[in-house]
Structure 1
Amino acid sequence: MDNRTNTIAGWVLAGCGAALGLSIVGGMIFHDGPPEKFGFPIEAAEETGAAGAAEVPIATLLATADVAKGAEVFKKCAACHTITQGGPNGIGPNLYATMGEAIAQGKAGFAFSDALKSKGGKWDFEQMSAWLTSPRKFAPGTKMTFAGIGNGQDRANVIAYLNAQGSNLPLPAAPAAGAAPTPGPAPASEGPAGAPANPGGKADPTTDDLANKATPATGAPSVDPAAAVRGAKEDAKK
């Protein structure tokens, strides 16, 4: 019995020694400690396409807007808004005849946020486009949680649809493509070598004008040297 006990104890000690050895070797290979760098680098996606392009004016997009497509886009809004004449307010106000109305007023006493009330003005095409692009940016603090419509043509389509529901405002004229800037005043004419012309329109004097070309007065001494010599000789003969 003692031999058996000793054998078991020996195996237990051997197992402990093996576990201890494996633990030491594992620690040497897989050492514990803080990482050299926390997290993993994530490269930002490159912005391409519409992000770097110039925004097309809403007046230009409205020229090709499709009311039927706007009705499809409006389905995103139907969970909070009605648009029928006399329709009830829901989470948001009824939107019938909204285009051209004062911002955040009327609508059967709907409780607009103070942020939207402070905007003032009316729902024209520019204001509505800015609102639908980003309500939170248009009126910081607004109760509207809709993220906005980033696609410009979709936005123009839904604005055309809103306008057709009881407002019927005339669409704004699209800006002329490639219109030349208004010319400024014509520069003053310049003379030779870029020098400004004489404002009086008279030619500048030349060095020839400075020479004395006047005829000597009668009785004045001659300025001809030969004539002076002849006069001296005549005086000597007298």
Structure 2
Amino acid sequence: MSLENNKIFASVLTAGILLMASGFAAKSLYHPKDLEENAFKIEVSDSGVEVASAGAEEPSIEPISALLATADVAAGESGFKKCASCHTIESGGSNKVGPALWDIVGRGRAAVDGFSYSDALQGMSSEAWDYEALNEFLAKPKDYAPGTKMGFAGLKKVEDRANLIAYMRMQSDSPAALPQ
């Protein structure tokens, strides 16, 4: 080995010894004390979700029934383009990533033959998709049916949901009656 290689090896070895010595020095100077209880208490419910403060209420979804009478079906058709990548809505349409949505209003949940629903929606199969259920689901699918396979984030504006539901209502041989 050349003298240059010896210098490099000695430098690396010296740096390692200095690092190790500084670690020993730090341990001898600093002695942490274990706390008897946590300094910051975080209340957690049994489900592992943080408990909200007593004064705060979870925001509720605005009812959609009153908006359906004046909803814009054409705007709903335009809004359905977001859904069309995963769903079909025409009569006799096949399932895609999501189930076919023809005649969805009033139909049972998890009721499309040949589609593999998540456990969350299969647990609701005895119920029908009424206007308010569709409204809540479209607002935030993962909150409405935790564990759903639907990756859509939801529609924030109640008007957008009303337009979309009005459009989906019309995609039926006999559209469901509007709520009073």
Give TM class, smaller chain: 0.5 to 0.7
Q: Is 1:136 matched with 2:136?
A: no
**Does the 8 Å contact 2:71/2:159 carry over to 1?**
yes
Shift of 1:56: 4.0
Alpha-carbon distance in 1 for matches of 2:130, 2:60: 22
Q: Is 1:115 matched with 2:120?
A: yes
| Identity rate, percent | 49
Alpha-carbon distance in 1 for matches of 2:60, 2:130: 22
User: What is the TM-score when the length of structure 2 is the normalising length?
Assistant: 0.64
Alpha-carbon distance in 2 for matches of 1:56, 1:147: 17
Alpha-carbon distance in 2 for matches of 1:131, 1:72: 19
Alpha-carbon distance in 1 for matches of 2:117, 2:60: 33
* TM superposition outliers: structure 1 runs of 4+ over 3 Å: 53-56
Alpha-carbon distance in 1 for matches of 2:150, 2:61: 24
Alpha-carbon distance in 2 for matches of 1:148, 1:126: 15
Mapping of residues 19-168 of structure 1, within 5 Å: 56-105=62-111, 107-119=112-124, 120-166=126-172, 167-168=174-175
Q: CA RMSD in A?
A: 1.5
Count of aligned residue pairs for this structure pair: 120
Alpha-carbon distance in 2 for matches of 1:115, 1:54: 20
Alpha-carbon distance in 2 for matches of 1:150, 1:88: 28
Q: Which runs of 5+ in 2 are unaligned?
A: 1-58
Larger radius of gyration: 1
**SS of residue in 2 equivalent to 1:89:** coil
Higher relative contact order at CA 8 Å, sep ≥6: structure 1 or structure 2? 2
**Does the 8 Å contact 2:61/2:139 carry over to 1?**
no
